[in-house]
């Protein structure tokens, strides 16, 4: 793993220098060469910080989150986020939470928060009656990050967790109708499933 990360860092640095250094660099003046060395050191430091953060982060289940930080659904309190089998997950690094994603588990895809509430409640009751795990679909209804790369990392870690489960077969979002939400999920590999009156659903394929 260390060797892989080393190779990735070297490639990133080389790519940066290739795009930012003129081809006639062989005859550069000492001042320009010093500037290149400084830029390379700065880039290496930033890359090291990024890899340290990614390698050291861990996905944990939270009992509560700061709902005031939620840019999508701040109106939903922690009681809602923990009722009927719903979960709050966070990415922890250095003793702090840097990204949060909230889930409900259903057997159908909701088009709004009211449906999310009802469908997750129904799935919870059905699981209790049949002594089964809750729902077949994980619905991510909000996500936010306080650290660069945190959003992408929590999606990746949650995806792996759901893939390992023995009862969940779909990962679907309940997202706002915003360009930011669209870009975030499509860049992380999700496909638009449907657009609703006030929301949109993206799906991450579980292979």
Encode the chain (207 residues) as per-residue pLDDT tens digits.
445 445 545 555 555 555 655 555 455 566 665 565 555 544 444 444 444 555 678 999 999 999 999 999 999 999 999 999 999 999 999 889 999 999 999 999 999 999 999 999 999 999 887 767 889 999 999 999 998 888 889 998 998 888 888 889 999 999 999 999 999 999 999 999 999 999 999 999 876
Quick one: 77 and 156 in the same domain? yes
> Does 84 lie in the same domain as 68?
yes
Please state the domain count of the chain.
2
Q: What is the pLDDT of residue 65?
A: 96
Q: Are residues 140 and 165 both part of a single domain? A: yes
**Residue 15 shares a structural domain with residue 105:** no
Q: Could you tell me if 44 and 134 lie in one domain? A: no
Q: Do residues 140 and 84 both lie within one domain?
A: yes
The owner of tokens 């609703």 is 196
Domain of 23, in residue numbers: 2-55
- Kindly state whether residues 200 and 100 are assigned to the same domain: yes
Bridge partners (DSSP) listed for residue 173: 140
CA distance 171 to 183: 17
- Pick the last residue of a domain from 22, 37, 55: 55
Pair 187, 101 in one domain: yes
**Angle of helix 2-20 relative to helix 30-56, nearest 10 degrees?**
140
Same domain? 142 vs 171: yes
Whether residue 62 contacts residue 97, with contact meaning beta carbons closer than 8 Å, is answered with yes
42 and 75 in a single domain? The answer is no
CATH number at residue 103: 3.40.630.150
Q: 129 with 44, same domain?
A: no
Contact 87, 100 (CB under 8 A): no
Total Cβ atoms within 10 A of residue 50: 14
Residues 6+ apart with CB under 8 A from 182: 175, 192, 200
> 24 and 48 share a domain?
yes
The pLDDT assigned to 20 comes to: 57
Looking at residue 132, what is its pLDDT? 75
The three-state secondary structure class of 66 is coil
């Amino acid at each position: 793993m260390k060797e892989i990360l080393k190779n990735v860092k070297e490639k990133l640095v080389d790519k940066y220098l290739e795009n930012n250094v003129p081809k006639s660099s062989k005859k550069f003046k000492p001042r320009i060469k010093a500037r290149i060395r400084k830029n390379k050191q700065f880039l290496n430091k930033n890359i090291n910080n990024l890899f340290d953060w990614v390698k050291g982060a861990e996905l944990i289940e939270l009992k509560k989150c700061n709902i005031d930080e939620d840019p999508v659904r701040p109106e939903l309190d922690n009681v809602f986020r923990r009722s009927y089998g719903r979960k709050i997950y966070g990415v922890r690094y250095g003793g702090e939470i840097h990204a949060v994603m909230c889930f409900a588990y259903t057997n159908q895809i909701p088009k709004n928060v009211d449906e999310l509430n009802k469908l997750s409640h129904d799935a919870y009751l059905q699981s209790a009656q049949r002594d089964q795990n809750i729902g077949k679909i994980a619905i991510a209804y909000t996500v936010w990050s306080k650290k660069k790369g945190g959003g992408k990392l929590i999606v990746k870690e949650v995806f792996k967790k759901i893939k390992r489960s023995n009862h969940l077969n779909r990962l679907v979002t309940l997202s706002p109708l915003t360009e930011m939400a669209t870009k975030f999920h499509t860049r992380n590999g999700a496909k638009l499933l449907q657009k609703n009156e006030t929301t949109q659903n993206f799906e991450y394929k579980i292979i």
